Amino acid sequence: MVRALLCRQWCDFRDLSLVEVAEPVLTPGGVHIAVHYAGLGFAHSLVVAGKYQVQPPRPFIPGTEIAGIVLETAEDVEHVKRGDQVLATVDWGGFAERTVAPAETVYRLPSTADPASSIQLATSYSTAYAALTWRARIEEQENLLVHGAGGALGLSAVELGSLLGARVIACASSAEKRKMALAHGADVALPATGFREQVKTLTNGRGADVVFDPVGGDVFDESLRAMAPEGRILPVGFASGRIPRIPANIVLVKNISVLGFYYGSYIKGGPEDQRGRSAPKVQAMMSQLIGWMQEGRLKPTLAGIFDLNQYAEAMDSVLTRRSIGKVVLRIGPV
């Protein structure tokens, strides 16, 4: 038996049950992992409340991004072996001491890599990198406007935008978060709202070429009016709680491209499972990100590490937006 957080019915994340469940069974094409750390984010609160775009059958164990040690692999798995330190994504099941991940979304970590910090690569850095390069095709010297720059996803976009040669304008809700964004490569840091005119001034009247928006709501609306002609905006989440309605007239007259991006379509199962087709592209990206982290070019920021039995307190730090960087749960012995 292993410890796990269990969702029996749609509920507040803080009302989940910490229970003992049977250890998962290795499946074909799978990797059995002893989970040491798991990432926690806003999306997990939506999943267990039944408000996410994908709803797992109940009861289920939430958690999607993990780091740990390989216990066993299926016969057809070759790129990792027993004893390897790995990073992985799973559809569900991450908040448990043991889980089985599909081999396509398991990535070998160097033994010298810090597993807790590496969690940020699994979905935060990968979402930011894929959105900026695969979808927006950002170019050097372009003006990149990043919202939510105090969170793990926003900070990842700030670092990668700078690394890719863009001029980064970061928006965050507090002076402390703006200071952190500047330390991670932002050229300028602005308040989370009322940024339109400052963005225009900073870009000599042109506006932002690319907008990375995990917030939505009023921030998305204002961003459209702070964009350059032929700019690209990336809605990657709706942390504000409001999904914006897109004013087509502004999109039309400014030749703006609205480029939706959902990283889960590359790494999750479901009716249109793309993991096999996407695996080479995703594995190459993850190798690049892990390499940059090892070289010190990416600097994951841990907002805090909480023991598994502190899951309610950990989610509080996410929902109250006190956290700067990635919140991580310590699942098993390290």
Residue 85: inside a domain, yes or no?
A: yes
Last residue of a domain, one of 231, 258, 285: 258
Task: Indicate the DSSP class of residue 323.
Answer: -
State the angle between helix axes of 175-183 and 152-163 in degrees (0 to 180), rounded to the nearest 10.
30
**Residue 205 and residue 152 share a domain:** yes
**What is the rounded distance in angstroms from the CA atom of residue 53 to the CA atom of residue 256?**
26
Residue 267: inside a domain, yes or no?
A: no
Per residue of the chain (334 residues), what is the pLDDT tens digit? 999 999 999 999 999 999 999 999 999 999 999 999 999 999 999 999 999 888 899 999 999 999 999 999 999 999 999 999 999 999 999 999 999 999 999 999 999 999 999 999 999 999 999 999 999 999 999 999 999 999 999 999 999 999 999 999 999 999 999 999 999 999 999 999 999 999 999 999 999 999 999 999 999 999 999 999 999 999 999 989 899 999 999 999 999 999 999 999 899 866 667 788 889 999 999 999 999 999 999 999 999 999 999 999 999 999 988 789 999 999 987 6
Structure tokens at 92: 């569900």
**What is the rounded distance in angstroms from the CA atom of residue 89 to the CA atom of residue 267?**
7
236 is in which domain, residue-wise? Answer: 137-258
Contact of 211 with 223, CB cutoff 8 Å: yes
| Separation of CA 198 from chain center | 28
Closest CA to 31 of 97, 98, 91, 92: 98
Give the domain CATH number at 153.
3.40.50.720
Residue 64: inside a domain, yes or no?
A: yes
**Residue 280 and residue 252 share a domain:** no
Last residue of a domain, one of 258, 290, 313: 258
Give the domain CATH number at 53.
3.90.180.10
**Residue 6 and residue 116 share a domain:** yes
Which residues lie closer than 8 Å to 320 by C-beta, 6 or more apart? none
**Sequence-ordered strand ranges (E) for the chain:** 2-6, 17-21, 30-40, 65-73, 85-89, 98-102, 106-108, 143-146, 167-172, 188-191, 208-213, 227-235, 257-258, 302-307, 326-330
Task: Provide the domain count of the chain.
Answer: 2
**Residue 163 and residue 55 share a domain:** no
Predicted confidence at residue 334, as pLDDT, reads 64
| Separation of CA 322 from chain center | 17
Predicted confidence at residue 294, as pLDDT, reads 96
As a whole number of Å, the CA-based R_g of the chain is 20
Predicted confidence at residue 275, as pLDDT, reads 80
**Residue 320 and residue 245 share a domain:** no
**What is the rounded distance in angstroms from the CA atom of residue 231 to the CA atom of residue 223?**
11
The 3-state DSSP class for residue 99 equals strand
Residue 263: inside a domain, yes or no?
A: no
**Residue 106 and residue 38 share a domain:** yes
Residue 264: inside a domain, yes or no?
A: no
**Distance, first Cα to last Cα, the chain:** 18
Q: What separation in angstroms does the CA of 301 have from each of 4, 8, 125, 156? A: 26, 32, 11, 9
Residue 211: inside a domain, yes or no?
A: yes
